């Protein structure tokens, strides 16, 4: 029997309302005991992880990331993406199907599963397409994909533009209780836009993406979900207007859930000009402006949107935090802003970014952890993850909320070095990541001892 | 060489005012810098009035014009300016170069740097492209127009033309009419004019007026919906080119209605001050944003703008490459 004992940490498990200093015992990949654990353990040998001063939480679950494999292995692979996840404290990640080929058949789902089993270090749950080839014309064979093990369906990156097809997909998906994740964007309104439409896009002469491009799509999807009673999940909510729409839908009892990214919770449109921009003044543009690392879809919005997203998250209007980890190569990013790829490599900075909300007193630690654990687990209908209940899968994230570190993309495990946070100091990082009882990542400062057991 | 240059042209180069390596926009120009450019352009204009319009100031320097978009006046005017200062000029367009083979912008400008360019005058359809270039090479970069963002040399020649006629830019009411959203000229003019103390009034159909103009991000800008009110008492009126594709993209119901509502004609011009100047960045759509009679009338200084463009661009090249180093 292999065992692992985490001692002296502050255990926070929102699924059980636990927040107490104690020990956590893991054996054979399961949670065995939470609380005070006796020193003599009935195992042949076991590891002890010292977690004093640290938070011990259920392993983080990311509902939305791009592993790029198959098809775009120069941007990321399942091997590198899962290592990035482990460094970020994520033990389960849901991979989006905008690969080449897209994940729209059993064979491609199995490819991801086999690759993840052979080369990955965290749990990878594949998301399948809603439509064949993500072309928005015909539904995928949802039954086959469900049986193959997809946890959700999405044409991510592409919205399902045809409302009738979206209606049918929401109706049909009920057969398998699959949640549909929609990238809400009205392509006519956002057409060729590259950043939020507002004073910054005006200043920079860039084509804007209005908030309404997202909101009309959210409103449409909510109306369809309400009619069909299908399960709808709104990806990467970015505007105050979307939050209001989802709030009112939830009040009516519509089966809608939503996620928000760390970057939409912490950064604004001004980041395209540069860090530390004083938006109350008309200062000259710095040479470093048009920062393609801040180019992301949906775009970084205004301070007012950020405020509404934080409030929406706290109030449960937004259920979960998802990274939308979107790694790209330098060739995709070090170029003219207009042709640069959208996306931020986010797995390794998510926790540090999100903890700024806690350090600023805008959110308590337990709420934040619930948005990364039990809430996404509920959306996925997975009861064995996102919790530290006895018998649950031993997926555990240990993090130090006050450890300061400087973001250095060259040290990322991800191939995607595209982050607007390079050089920034963040407070808080993962110290150890455990997946099904296996220590898959450990910070160099984390102390682990091998002990003799009492058997 | 230094003394020869000083004899040939005599702008007052006070050490310390000019430390600029690039000209990307006018938003970072101080009033002193703007005045230095205008004074230097005066000296250049004097050179242009001579029989032999050439001085050896930039002999041995190489200026590359790199134009990814079509251009008549800006490219030719920079070329002429560089040649008047005896620089060698290499003209490169997107077609006929390795850009057609898919070479990236950064690789292209690195090649130009390796080939010995001292300054690159560039026009690009992507806003911000000159900033990208300036980050990656050591050569001076002059923005000859980037997307819908900026066109600083045009802004400077507009300032120069206004100052030449009115004596000062300060206090002048300058009305810009038309497609502000897609106008890099309007953006650069906003910075240059407001820094020099002009009162800038913008008037446009709401579909061609971008979000966020005015305080705090664009201080001292006045938006006036009604064009007839806007032009009242104006010292300078600048209609912008209306690209006909804007109508096709649904931003306007028809060109006919735009003409009725926004065209600068004699009737509207009469509402301005008696000797108000008419400027246009070109190329014009005569009969659309401006009537031919106004475009070629007594108050039009459109051709002078073009001529002044050479003097202003000589000033810029001189200050960047031959100035007080």
Is residue A203 less than 8 Å (CB to CB) from chain B?
yes
B277 φ/ψ angles, rounded to the nearest 5 degrees? -90, 145
* Cross-chain residue pair A204–B149, CB shorter than 8 Å: yes
Please give the order of strands across the beta sheet that includes B221-223.
Answer: B221-223, B199-203, B173-177, B236-239, B277-278
Is residue B19 less than 8 Å (CB to CB) from chain A?
no
Nearest to B240 by CA among B181, B323, B308, B168: B181
Contacts of B217 in chain A (CB under 8 A): 199, 202-203, 279, 282
Residue B122 neighbours by CB distance under 10 Å: 26
pLDDT value of residue A427:
98
> For residues A298 and A436, what is the distance between their CA atoms, to the nearest angstrom?
34
Quick one: DSSP state of residue A325?
B
Q: Is the pLDDT score of B3 beyond 50?
A: no
Residue A39 neighbours by CB distance under 10 Å: 10
Instruction: Assess contact for A69 and A25: CB atoms under 8 A.
Output: no
Nearest to B279 by CA among B303, B255, B257: B303
* Cross-chain residue pair A281–B216, CB shorter than 8 Å: yes
What the block records as the tokens of A93 is: 């990640």
Closest partner CB to B219 (pick from A201, A282, A290): A282
Contacts of B105 in chain A (CB under 8 A): 335-336
* Cross-chain residue pair B148–A339, CB shorter than 8 Å: no
> For residues A444 and A451, what is the distance between their CA atoms, to the nearest angstrom?
19
What the block records as the tokens of A335 is: 């170029």
Contacts of A281 in chain B (CB under 8 A): 216
Q: Which residue of A203, A293, A295, A336 to mutate against B (max B Cβ within 10 Å)?
A: A336
* Cross-chain residue pair A205–B146, CB shorter than 8 Å: yes
What the block records as the tokens of A151 is: 């946890």
Q: Are strands B277-278 and B236-239 parallel, antiparallel or unpaired?
A: parallel
What the block records as the tokens of A379 is: 């959306």
Q: Do domains B2-151+308-322 and B152-304 have the same CATH topology?
A: yes
* CATH, range A59-385+403-422: 3.20.20.140
Q: Is the pLDDT score of B72 beyond 50?
A: yes
Q: Are strands A448-452 and A45-50 parallel, antiparallel or unpaired?
A: antiparallel
pLDDT value of residue A115:
98
> For residues A233 and A221, what is the distance between their CA atoms, to the nearest angstrom?
9
Residues 57-116 of A with CB under 8 A from B: none
Instruction: Assess contact for A206 and B184: CB atoms under 8 A.
Output: no
Within A349-426, where are the H helices?
A: 350-359, 365-372, 374-380
pLDDT value of residue B7:
43
Once rounded to an integer, what is the mean pLDDT over residues B143-168?
97
The Cβ-side half-sphere exposure at A129, using a 13 Å CA radius, reads: 25
* Cross-chain residue pair A205–B135, CB shorter than 8 Å: no
Is residue B44 less than 8 Å (CB to CB) from chain A?
no
Residue with tokens 């392993």: A59
* Cross-chain residue pair A284–B129, CB shorter than 8 Å: no
Distance to chain B for A51, nearest Cα, Å: 45
pLDDT value of residue B5:
42
pLDDT value of residue A35:
87
Distance to chain A for B127, nearest Cα, Å: 6
Q: Is the pLDDT score of B12 beyond 90?
A: no
* DSSP element (H, E) containing B192: helix B184-195
Those residues whose C-beta lies under 8 Å from the C-beta of residue A154, and which sit 6 or more positions away, are A96, A97, A127, A128, A129, A130, A180, A181, A182, A183, A235
Exposed / middle / buried, residue A300 (Cβ in 10 Å: 0-12, 13-18, 19+): buried
Our measurement of the distance from residue A163's CA atom to the centroid of its chain's CA atoms, rounded to an integer in Å, reads 27
Instruction: Assess contact for A261 and A357: CB atoms under 8 A.
Output: no
Give the least confident one: A449-453, B37-41, B202-206: A449-453
Q: Would you give the end-to-end CA distance of chain B in angstroms?
A: 13
Residue B251 neighbours by CB distance under 10 Å: 18
* Cross-chain residue pair A336–B135, CB shorter than 8 Å: no
Contacts of B134 in chain A (CB under 8 A): 287
**B245: three-class secondary structure by DSSP:** helix
Residue with tokens 């690789």: B107
Which pTM value belongs to this model? 0.95
* Cross-chain residue pair B210–A338, CB shorter than 8 Å: no
Nearest to A6 by CA among A394, A298, A415: A394
Total count of residues recorded for chain A: 455
Q: Would you give the end-to-end CA distance of chain A in angstroms?
A: 11
* Cross-chain residue pair A201–B124, CB shorter than 8 Å: no
* DSSP element (H, E) containing A88: helix A78-88
Residue with tokens 């979107």: A326
Residue with tokens 């002990």: A451
> For residues A324 and A152, what is the distance between their CA atoms, to the nearest angstrom?
15
Q: Are strands B173-177 and B140-146 parallel, antiparallel or unpaired?
A: unpaired
pLDDT value of residue A288:
93
Catalytic residue (choose from A182, A324, A395, A400): A324
What the block records as the tokens of B249 is: 């993209």
Tell me, what's the ipTM?
0.93
**B241: three-class secondary structure by DSSP:** coil
* Cross-chain residue pair B184–A205, CB shorter than 8 Å: yes
* Cross-chain residue pair B210–A201, CB shorter than 8 Å: yes
Distance to chain A for B231, nearest Cα, Å: 24
Residues 274-293 of A with CB under 8 A from B: 279-282, 284-285, 287-290
Average pLDDT, chain B: 92
What the block records as the tokens of B200 is: 């800038």
Is residue B316 less than 8 Å (CB to CB) from chain A?
no
Closest partner CB to B126 (pick from A197, A199, A339): A339
Contacts of B19 in chain A (CB under 8 A): none
Closest partner CB to B127 (pick from A197, A280, A337): A337
Q: pLDDT > 90: what percent of chain B? A: 83
Report the phi/psi class of residue A238: left, alpha or beta, with left for phi > 0 and alpha for psi in -120 to 50. Answer: alpha
Nearest residue on chain A to B148, judged by CA atoms?
A: A205
* CATH, range B152-304: 3.40.50.1370
Going by pLDDT thresholds of 50, 70 and 90, the confidence category of residue B247 is: confident
Q: Is the pLDDT score of B1 beyond 50?
A: no
Q: Is the pLDDT score of B6 beyond 50?
A: no
> For residues B320 and B325, what is the distance between their CA atoms, to the nearest angstrom?
9
* Domain limits, chain A: 59-385+403-422
Nearest to A24 by CA among A48, A43, A44, A45: A48
* Cross-chain residue pair A279–B217, CB shorter than 8 Å: yes
The Cβ-side half-sphere exposure at A411, using a 13 Å CA radius, reads: 11
* Cross-chain residue pair B127–A290, CB shorter than 8 Å: yes
Q: Count H helices, E strands: chain A?
A: 14, 19
Q: Are strands A195-196 and A396-406 parallel, antiparallel or unpaired?
A: unpaired
Is residue B147 less than 8 Å (CB to CB) from chain A?
yes
Once rounded to an integer, what is the mean pLDDT over residues B210-238?
92
Distance to chain B for A209, nearest Cα, Å: 12
> For residues B67 and B74, what is the distance between their CA atoms, to the nearest angstrom?
10
Is residue B28 less than 8 Å (CB to CB) from chain A?
yes
> For residues B128 and B150, what is the distance between their CA atoms, to the nearest angstrom?
9
Is residue A336 less than 8 Å (CB to CB) from chain B?
yes
Closest partner CB to A285 (pick from B25, B129, B216): B25
Give the least confident one: A328-342, B85-99, B180-194: B85-99
Is residue B245 less than 8 Å (CB to CB) from chain A?
no
* DSSP element (H, E) containing A123: strand A123-126
Q: Is the pLDDT score of B13 beyond 80?
A: no
Residues 352-411 of A with CB under 8 A from B: none
Distance to chain B for A301, nearest Cα, Å: 14
Total count of residues recorded for chain B: 325
B285 φ/ψ angles, rounded to the nearest 5 degrees? -105, 85
User: What class is the B2-151+308-322 domain?
Assistant: alpha beta
**B144: three-class secondary structure by DSSP:** strand
Is residue A200 less than 8 Å (CB to CB) from chain B?
yes
Q: Which residue of A189, A194, A202 to mutate against B (max B Cβ within 10 Å)?
A: A202
Is residue B104 less than 8 Å (CB to CB) from chain A?
yes
* Cross-chain residue pair A335–B131, CB shorter than 8 Å: no
In the predicted model, residues of chain A with pLDDT beneath 50 are none
Residues 208-227 of B with CB under 8 A from A: 210-213, 216-219
Is residue B134 less than 8 Å (CB to CB) from chain A?
yes
Going by pLDDT thresholds of 50, 70 and 90, the confidence category of residue B324 is: very low
Contacts of A280 in chain B (CB under 8 A): 216
Active site residue A278: no
Q: To 10 degrees, what angle do helices B184-195 and B31-48 make? A: 110
Nearest to A3 by CA among A40, A36, A35: A40
């Amino acid at each position: 029997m292999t065992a692992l004992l985490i001692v002296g940490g502050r255990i926070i498990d929102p699924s059980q309302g636990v927040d107490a200093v104690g020990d956590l015992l893991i054996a054979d990949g399961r949670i065995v005991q939470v609380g005070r654990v006796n020193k003599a353990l009935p195992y042949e040998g076991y590891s002890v992880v010292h977690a004093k001063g640290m938070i011990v939480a259920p392993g983080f679950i990311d509902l939305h990331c791009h592993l790029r494999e198959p098809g775009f292995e120069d941007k990321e692979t399942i091997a590198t993406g899962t290592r990035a996840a482990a460094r970020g404290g994520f033990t389960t990640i849901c991979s989006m199907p905008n690969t080449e080929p897209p994940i729209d058949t059993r064979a491609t789902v199995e490819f991801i599963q086999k690759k993840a089993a052979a080369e990955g270090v965290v749990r990878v749950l594949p998301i399948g397409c809603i439509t064949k080839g993500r072309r928005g014309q015909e539904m995928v064979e949802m039954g086959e994909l469900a049986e193959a093990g997809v946890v959700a369906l999405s044409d991510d990156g592409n919205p399902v533009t045809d409302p009738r097809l979206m209606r049918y997909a929401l109706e049909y998906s009920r057969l398998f209780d699959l949640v549909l994740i929609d990238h809400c964007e009205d392509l006519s309104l956002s057409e060729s836009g590259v950043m939020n439409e507002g004073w910054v896009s005006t200043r920079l002469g860039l084509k804007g993406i209005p908030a309404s491009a997202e909101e009309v799509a959210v409103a449409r999807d909510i109306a369809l979900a309400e009619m069909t009673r299908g399960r709808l999940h709104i990806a990467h909510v970015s505007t105050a207007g979307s939050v209001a729409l989802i709030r009112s839908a939830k009040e009516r009892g519509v089966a809608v859930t939503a996620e928000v990214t760390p970057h939409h919770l912490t950064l604004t449109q001004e980041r395209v000009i540069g860090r530390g921009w004083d938006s109350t003044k008309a200062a000259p543009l710095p040479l470093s402006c048009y920062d393609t690392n801040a180019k992301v879809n949906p775009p970084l919005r205004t301070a007012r949107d950020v405020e509404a997203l934080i409030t929406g998250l706290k109030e449960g209007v937004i259920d979960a935090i998802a990274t939308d980890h979107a790694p790209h190569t330098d060739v995709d990013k070090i170029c003219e802003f207009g042709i640069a790829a959208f996306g931020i490599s986010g797995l390794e900075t998510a926790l540090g970014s999100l903890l700024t909300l806690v350090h600023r007193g805008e959110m308590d630690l337990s709420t934040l952890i619930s948005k990364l654990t039990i809430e996404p687990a509920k959306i996925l209908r997975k009861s064995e993850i996102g919790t530290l209940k006895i018998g649950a899968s031993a997926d555990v994230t240990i993090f130090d909320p006050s450890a300061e570190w400087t973001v250095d993309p060259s040290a990322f495990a991800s191939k995607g070095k595209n982050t607007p946070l390079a050089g920034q100091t963040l407070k808080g990082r993962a110290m150890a990541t455990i997946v099904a009882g296996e220590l898959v990542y450990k910070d160099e400062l984390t102390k682990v001892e091998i002990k003799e057991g009492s058997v | 060489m230094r003394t020869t240059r000083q004899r040939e042209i005599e702008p007052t180069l006070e050490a310390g005012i000019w430390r600029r390596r690039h000209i990307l926009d006018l938003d970072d120009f101080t009033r002193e810098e703007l005045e230095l450019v205008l004074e230097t352009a005066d000296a250049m204009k004097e050179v242009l009035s001579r029989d032999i319009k050439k001085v050896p100031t930039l002999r041995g320097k190489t200026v590359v014009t790199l134009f990814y978009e079509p251009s008549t006046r800006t490219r030719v005017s920079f070329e002429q300016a560089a040649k008047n200062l005896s620089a060698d000029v290499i003209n490169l367009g997107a077609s006929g170069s390795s850009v057609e083979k898919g070479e990236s912008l950064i690789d292209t400008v690195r090649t130009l740097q390796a080939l010995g360019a001292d300054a690159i005058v560039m026009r690009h359809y992507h806003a911000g492209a000159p900033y990208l270039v300036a980050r990656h090479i050591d050569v001076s970069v002059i923005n000859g127009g980037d997307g819908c963002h900026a066109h600083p040399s045009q802004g400077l020649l507009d300032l120069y033309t206004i100052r030449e006629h009115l004596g000062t830019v300060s206090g002048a009411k300058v009305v810009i009419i038309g497609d502000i959203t897609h106008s890099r000229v309007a953006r650069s003019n906003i910075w240059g004019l407001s820094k020099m103390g002009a009162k800038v009034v913008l008037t446009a159909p709401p579909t061609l007026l971008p979000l966020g103009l005015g305080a705090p991000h664009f201080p001292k800008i006045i938006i006036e919906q009604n064009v007839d009110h806007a032009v009242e008492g104006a010292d300078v009126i600048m209609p912008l080119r209306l690209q006909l594709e804007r109508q096709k993209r649904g931003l306007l119901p028809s060109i006919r209605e735009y003409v009725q509502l926004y065209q600068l004609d004699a009737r509207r011009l009469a509402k301005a001050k008696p000797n108000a100047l008419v400027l246009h960045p070109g190329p014009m759509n005569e009969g659309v944003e401006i009537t031919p009679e106004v475009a070629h009338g007594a108050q039009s200084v459109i051709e002078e703008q073009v001529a002044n463009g050479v003097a202003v661009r000589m000033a810029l090249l001189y200050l960047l490459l031959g100035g007080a180093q």
